[in-house]
Structure 1
Amino acid sequence: MNSPKVALVTGATQGLGLALVEGLAQRLSTEDTVYLTGRDAGRVAQAVEAMPAGGAEVRGEVLDVAEPAASGRLAAKLAERHGGIDVVLGNAVMRVGPDDDPRAIVHDYAEVNNFGTTRLLRAFAPLLRDGGRFLVVASSFGTLRHLAPALHDRFDTLSSLDEVDKQVAAWRDAVADGSARAGDWPGFVNIPSKIGQVAAVRTLAARRRDDDLARGILLAAVCPGMMNTPTSALWWDVSTAPSPAEAANTVLELVFRPVDPAQYGELVRDGAVLPWR
């Protein structure tokens, strides 16, 4: 008999994260558990209460990925409770609008999107069971083609997650003090941030690849594509874009289909690998 499965989604009180929780719960069995997490306890409780009946049990946990010790604490709690984890979907994100001053928001932005990602990877990747999935939600901006060639070495073939954090911190500080404007960094902070997320996945995957593939584990970044959300509408015309629920299906396909070794450690969109270089 298969052991009950355990899944966790971060940034799950609205939008894509909420759709991912619902999709997982519908596809898993009543013996399984999906953890819906977010930084606000009230919103977590509301989201859990609103989940449709049937499928896996949905449980709420408070997780603020910007808090340095939070991912480790929750990982230890779930390890004690379940012994391991089968699915982790890293979706927590701080959104930025066209009117936001990058210098004013970049510290909080990197704390959530980038350091939050590396903390989640450190805390939960060691808990993955055989056949597990760890997917970090990124975007098609997360490839080196969107970065000036002079900056490619900053994120390519890094040796550790600590080195990824170091490079992200250097970019963050350059934005904050204004020196990024005089250099080769793009003005849209989402681009270096997403590249940093994908670099984190690639860096950890390089160390785990052989063992993970032997155990049927997939570690990858995933681009769900443009979605019709209020935040996206601030930047683009998304009137014909898929809803979060529709976009969630492309992510969930990677959870439930057999592992394709070509996707391991890569950025995947609609089942295809987006070239890193």
Structure 2
Amino acid sequence: MSTTPKVALVTGATQGLGLALVEGLAQRMASHDTVYLTGRDLDRVTQTVEAMPSGGARVRGEILDVAAPEAADRLAARLKELHGGVDIVFNNAVMRVGPDDDPREIVEEYAEVNNFGTTRVLRAFAPLLRDDARLIVVASALGTLHFLAPVLHDRFDGLASLDEVDEQVTVWRDAVKDGSARGGPWPGFVNIPSKIGQVAAVRTLARQRHEQDTPRGILLAAVCPGMMNTPTSAMWWDVGNAPTPAEAAVALLDLALEPVRPGHYGELLRDGEVLPWAPRAYGGKKARRP
């Protein structure tokens, strides 16, 4: 019996966790499968693909800058033409922030990559998911309402569409840019609202697609890879004993390649376990936004 070749795609894949995910997928998928290694710089993509170890699935490089408004749609259309659909998508593209960065100066690009890039990937590739596919957004344990002031919970909870998610991210971004966030309830660390926005996007799309995805064995989820030993993390914390990107990638690869576990759909996961979206005392009731 012939088996349809599988297609996987990883964004932000020229280094760190993204590269580890590509390497892991290539090792664990079959030789007739294809893994797309994507990034925004042609030379880096080309060099990274050329340096990939042999064996396993074929690795192909593609340019994808998630910050470019039409880029995800163009690549999705190309993969649909070539393969008819996709089986695994890891949205891993991220802009890092350092301790010395002024949030007001970097937040526009930061949100463009991390948040609007996420919703672009979700919009572009969700329609291409084949049966038993996985669409996974790499986020963080910081992406829950536990880390947000209660007065802001309704901004990200129970949203009706990805457009609404983008609108709320825009409100936060603009408040950081004009300095008003400093005097309000927004966290000073821009990573927190950004990660919450990413998880909110996954939860919002999951509510829309749950009925059609569940019978088809599709998993849509956000995932926390945990602390990793990378140069960026080392600017903030002591990561000497933290896992390498390759070690952190194992749990994510298991999520992408092993059977779906009940209760994982639409959730934020860490090491195969669900991280609660909201504090227990929070009822999740919608409040009217000011």
Other structure's SS at 2:247 match: helix
Cα distance between partner residues in 2 of 1:231 and 1:114: 19
Tell me the equivalent position of 2:193: 192
Q: How many percent of aligned residue pairs carry the same amino acid?
A: 75
Equivalent residue, structure 2, for 1:20? 21
Equivalence for 2:68: 67
Stretches of 4+ aligned residues off by more than 6 angstroms: none
Structure 2 letter corresponding to 1:113: N
For residues 56-108 of structure 1, what are the alpha-carbon distances to aligned partners after superposition, in whole Å with 9 as ceiling and x for unaligned?
00000000000000000000000000000000000000000000000000000
Shift of 1:178: 0.2
The answer for unaligned runs of 5 or more in structure 2 is: 279-290
Q: 1:148·1:184 contact (CA, 8 Å) conserved in 2? A: yes
Structure 2 counterpart of 1:200, one-letter code = A
2:24 counterpart letter in structure 1: G
Distance in 2, Cα, partners of 1:45 & 1:273: 36
2:163 is aligned to: 162
Task: Please name the residue that 1:257 is paired with.
Answer: 258
What TM-score, normalized by structure 1, do the two folds share? 1.00
Determine the structure 1 residue equivalent to 2:288: none
Distance in structure 1 (CA, Å) of the matches to 2:87 and 2:69? 23
Checking the alignment, whether the CA contact within 8 Å between 1:213 and 1:261 is kept in structure 2 is no
Matched, 1:104 2:87: no
Q: 1:151 corresponds to which residue?
A: 152
Does the CA contact (< 8 Å) of 1:22 and 1:51 recur in 2? yes
Distance in 1, Cα, partners of 2:258 & 2:223: 14
> Once the two structures are superposed, what CA deviation does each residue of 1:158-194 show, in whole Å capped at 9, x if it has no partner?
0000000000000000000000001000000000000
Paired residues for 1:1-277 under 5 Å: 1-277=2-278
* Partner secondary structure for residue 192 of structure 1: helix
Take 1:255 and 1:35, find their aligned partners in 2: how far apart are those partners?
Answer: 15
Secondary structure of the corresponding residue to residue 197 of structure 1: helix
Deviation at 1:261, TM superposition (A): 2.8
Counterpart code for 2:156: F
TM-score, normalised relative to structure 2:
0.95
RMSD: 0.4
Letter in 1 for 2:270: R
Task: Determine the C-alpha separation between the residues in 2 that align with 1:46 and 1:75.
Answer: 23
Q: d(CA) in 1 for partners of 2:118 and 2:276?
A: 21
Counterpart CA distance in 2 for 1:168 and 1:140 is 18
Give secondary structure in 2 for the equivalent of 1:261.
coil
Can you give the 5+ residue segments of structure 1 that lack an aligned partner in the other structure? none
